[in-house]
Amino acid sequence: MFRLALKSVKHSPKRLILTAFAVALGVSLVAATQVFTNSLSSGFSDLFEDIYAGSDVIVEEAPDADEDEGDPFAAAEGILSSDDVDAIGAVEGVEIAAGGLQVAGAVLGPDYAESAGGDPFANAGPPSQIVNWYGDPRVDQATVIDGRGVESDGEVVLDVDSAPTLGYEIGDDVAIATETGVSLFELVGTVRFGDENNLQGATLAYVSDADAHTLADDPNYSSAAVIAAEGEDLDRLAGRIGDVIPEGTRAITGEDKAAEQTEQLDDVLQYVDIFAIAFGLIALFVGAYIIVNTFRIIVTQRTREFGLMRAIGVTGSQIRRMILLEAVVIAFVASTLGIIMGYLLALGFAGLVTLFSGDIFGTLTLPLDAVLWSYALGTAVTMIAAIMPAIHASRIAPMEALRESATSGKKPLKVRNIVGSAMFLVGAGVISIGLFGDFERPYIYVGAGAVTLVIGATLLSAQILSPLAGAMRPVLSRWFRVDGKLAANNIQREPRRSSNTAAALMIGVMLLALVATFTESLKTVVTEEFASTQADVFATSSQGAMPPGAIDAIEGVDGVELTSSIGFSQAQYDDMAYSVAVLEPETASEVFEYQSEPSVDELGPGQTYIDANIQDLGVEVGEEITLTSPEGDVTLEVAGTLSREGEGNFWVDFATGEDLFGEVPIVQTMVVFDDSIVADDADNPDGATTVSEQTEAVQAVLTDDYPLVILAQPGQLEQLANTFIDLLLGVISALLGSALVIALLGVANTLLLSVTERTREIGLLRAVGLKRSSVWRMITVESMVMAIFGTVLGMILGVALGSALVLSLADFGFDGVTIPWIWLAFYTIAAAVAGVLAAIWPAWRASRLNILAAIAADG
């Protein structure tokens, strides 16, 4: 039986090429992702080894000491005094205990002063690590390459790659920016970090111990590195150190720390994997439609052969097994091909990334996981897709062998329609529940409903396509005469086949349209957001929070009317973490129209406004509530409601914010210029200062002391946000591209197989005088109709589902759907072009058929 299956594959390899390729493409995405993340993980775990494995034991803040993980702006505060470090040094078995301190700041290029003015984002380059120099290579993890190490205050050492990249030579003054200003240090040497200076693109700078404390504005150390005496048992040493260090810190061996970090990174990479594999699965799902189609057509074409086999005594189950065996062979070949393609894809992509952001990869290896997953997925998809056609084949009666025509005629679409309608309705129902029911996380319902609805729609599309092709017949006949009429007939003749083909495309386009609807609506939200502000300029810091001094500096500039800052942090209420927004009630309403009751101006100290989520918990205006924060418990009066979804659950003023958090990390300062002095860029009465000029004036004041502060006008920010959204759309479209390529292969495959099936018919048409070009056109029209049908259906579904998704996300600030007309037009045109392209091979084959051979062919 296996030999028979193999022979059958070998006998007609062509019809299986595209099928195998469809499976291979999906598999390759899965394999590529795994190779990629695997090597990324190994690249970073090398880095972690370099960083941590050098120290025998590390003393650092205990991870569970303070649950303020939600606050990304909290700088690692010094937790070890120099006495603590001395105490660690005194522990038995410790050779060296070195306090470590990391400074939040950035190493700037030599021409930072000029570059800051034009592009507001120029200083937001790759991150910098600024740390204190100890002087022992085991602690510093650094080998001096040129010059020497840091010996006295005012000196700096850079890593070998960054010095030339930034444009510094030994003897130059290096500018280091921190919250408190720019300081200059003399470059005295360059070092190689670890074995390969593998820094994942970051800049590494060492300054003296005293300078580090000054820059960080902190007398303490944030960690300590311990070098053990010869032959010491590290785990036990860590235990002994643990006894002398202050509460809230821990001692961990370097090896464990590196492993812990790698593990954490792997957790993150796992999400990357899941994200990318999701697209691989979409591609395979689309591929499955093509496999179903291929097998269905092959079975139809071999009806006589199977009938004959049955007549000579082969059982139905043997035939079924034979077809499934064929599927296994294809799956194996395709998965292997897919793994190879995936590896090459990862190689190419890694090369591309390396080109732009340095060498961040370990060696690209093909993990066993990836191989197993690829084979498993490839085989599963192929087998599942082959089951229905195989069962169909096993039911072929011996009598069929004697029939003149191989096409088994028109079986009604009843079962298909019933199942399709049921799924469609259930899907639509679940989506409505998500949209209109009052559930938590409505998007889960919308998502699950969408999948069901889509499968239902692909089943139902046969019912739509058939009459549609019938209805289009006169139009196509008018436009393309007989070629058009025949094309319409061919589509109508095999509604299942045509609609499966279109369905593959439909799914791809649907996802594209969905994403486009989503991102386009997101853009509208962004635009409205920025349109609703009266602020002329937004100030943020590229590293951490806005320094308060900078705000004072901005307010001091002529022409600045007022500033209004906003900060965010987290506090516990009822044992759950909630976000707290801190604003300046006096000025807040000058920059945004807050939807609050009463007005934000009236928010006073000791009061809070709450959002809808908190109201849902049953908290009412007038009540007293207690928030728990690092600074302790603070009881507040609920004085009003403020709905700005997704920003803050609680809103307080700065006085209250300081009670809660000490210093409030300011995320953004909105600056309003004096209208009487500063004119709009657009209408500029002669000689008046424009917003841009005024912005430059403010920037000039900041450049020296606060180089990390970025000023951006709302328009610039909007543009930046839109660029990111477009990038998101681009990345997702590219990933979906593989599904679309597969879908097009499907169109080509179906046409190719049906050309084979219609060999005699085409021969006859040629004999009675149909020109080659007409044959070509017939196939092309057929292809285009299927492609456009799939695309239009996909767009309708995609926009509908995208709208549903957007509406379900109303909680996140979406207040309306924007339909991406331009994209839709583009997709339609692309579909027509794709239809033409997909038809090339089949049409070429059809138009080249030898007439006599075609007529004589057994059909």
Partner 1 sequence: MTTTEVPALAATMRDGFKDYGTGEAAVRALDGINVDIARSEFTAIMGPSGSGKSTLLHTLAGLDGLSAGSSTIADTTITSLSEAQITEVRRKYIGFVFQSFNLIPSLNARENITLPLDISGTKVDPEWFDNIIGILGLGERLTHLPAELSGGQQQRVAVARALVARPEIIFADEPSGNLDSKSGSELLAFMQSAVKDFGQTIVMVTHDPTAAAYADRILFLEDGQIVDEMREPTADRVLDRMKQMGH
Residues near partner 1 (CB under 8 A): 405, 407, 409, 481-482, 485-486, 489-490, 492-493, 760-761, 764-774, 851-852, 855, 859
Least Å distance between CB 18 and partner 1?
24
Which residues are bridge partners to 205 per DSSP?
A: 130, 158
CB nearer to partner 1: give 629 or 750.
750
Least Å distance between CB 764 and partner 1?
7
CB nearer to partner 1: give 301 or 608.
301
Least Å distance between CB 461 and partner 1?
20
φ, ψ dihedrals at 731, nearest 5°: -65, -45
Q: Taking a C-beta distance cutoff of 8 angstroms, is the pair 185, 211 a contact?
A: yes
Contacts of 505 (CB under 8 A, 6+ apart): 740, 743, 744, 746, 747, 786, 787, 790, 791, 794, 831
- For every residue of 677-724, DSSP letters joined together read TEE-SSS--TTPEEHHHHHHHHHHHHHHH-TTEEEE-HHHHHHHHHHH
310-338: buried (b, 16+ CB within 10 Å) or exposed (e) per residue?
beeebebeebbbbbbbbbbbbbebbbbbb
Least Å distance between CB 782 and partner 1?
12
Long-range contacts formed by 698-702: CB under 8 A, 24+ apart? 698/537, 698/554, 698/557, 698/560, 698/671, 699/116, 699/117, 700/117, 701/553, 701/554, 701/556, 701/557, 702/550, 702/553, 702/554
Least Å distance between CB 847 and partner 1?
10
Distances (CA, A) of 75 to 69, 104, 607: 11, 7, 28
712: left (phi over 0), alpha (psi -120 to 50) or beta: beta
Among 134, 57, 100, 94, residue whose Cα is nearest residue 228: 94
CB nearer to partner 1: give 532 or 773.
773
CB nearer to partner 1: give 734 or 852.
852
State the CB neighbour count (10 A cutoff) for residue 286.
Answer: 28
Q: How many CA atoms lie within 13 A of 667 on its CB side?
A: 13
Least Å distance between CB 832 and partner 1?
24
State the CB neighbour count (10 A cutoff) for residue 127.
Answer: 14
φ, ψ dihedrals at 409, nearest 5°: 85, -170
Q: Taking a C-beta distance cutoff of 8 angstroms, is the pair 665, 568 a contact?
A: yes
Which residues are bridge partners to 576 per DSSP?
A: 573
Tokens of 249: 């810190």
Among 262, 196, 272, residue whose Cα is nearest residue 36: 272
Q: Give the Cα separation of 748 and 740 in Å (integer).
A: 12
Q: Give the Cα separation of 103 and 126 in Å (integer).
A: 15
Least Å distance between CB 761 and partner 1?
6
CB nearer to partner 1: give 842 or 859.
859
- For every residue of 828-852, DSSP letters joined together read HHHHHHHHHHHTHHHHHHHHH--HH
Among 132, 265, 253, 138, residue whose Cα is nearest residue 194: 138
Least Å distance between CB 394 and partner 1?
25
Least Å distance between CB 327 and partner 1?
29
CB nearer to partner 1: give 409 or 687.
409
CB nearer to partner 1: give 840 or 855.
855
CB nearer to partner 1: give 15 or 772.
772
Maximal C-alpha separation, the chain: 103
Least Å distance between CB 470 and partner 1?
11
CA 302 from centroid of its chain's CA atoms: 45
Dihedral of the CA atoms 483, 488, 490, 491 (nearest 10)?
140
Least Å distance between CB 440 and partner 1?
54
CB nearer to partner 1: give 379 or 783.
783
CB nearer to partner 1: give 363 or 405.
405
Task: Name the helix (H) or strand (E) containing 62.
Answer: none
Least Å distance between CB 483 and partner 1?
9
CA 104 from centroid of its chain's CA atoms: 28
Least Å distance between CB 364 and partner 1?
52
Least Å distance between CB 848 and partner 1?
10
CB nearer to partner 1: give 392 or 473.
473
Least Å distance between CB 768 and partner 1?
5
Q: Give the Cα separation of 146 and 604 in Å (integer).
A: 59
Q: Taking a C-beta distance cutoff of 8 angstroms, is the pair 31, 374 a contact?
A: yes
Least Å distance between CB 465 and partner 1?
15
CA 764 from centroid of its chain's CA atoms: 53
CB nearer to partner 1: give 213 or 766.
766
φ, ψ dihedrals at 356, nearest 5°: -95, -35
CA R_g for the chain: 34
CB nearer to partner 1: give 293 or 774.
774
Q: Taking a C-beta distance cutoff of 8 angstroms, is the pair 12, 756 a contact?
A: no
Q: Where are the alpha helices (DSSP H) in 245-367?
A: 254-301, 303-311, 316-357
CB nearer to partner 1: give 453 or 854.
854
Least Å distance between CB 275 and partner 1?
46
Contacts of 804 (CB under 8 A, 6+ apart): 431, 434, 435, 446, 450
φ, ψ dihedrals at 361, nearest 5°: -110, 145
CB nearer to partner 1: give 148 or 481.
481
CB nearer to partner 1: give 384 or 402.
402
CB nearer to partner 1: give 348 or 470.
470
CB nearer to partner 1: give 78 or 307.
307
Least Å distance between CB 349 and partner 1?
47
Contacts of 342 (CB under 8 A, 6+ apart): 27, 28, 29, 30, 31, 32, 33, 34, 35, 370, 374
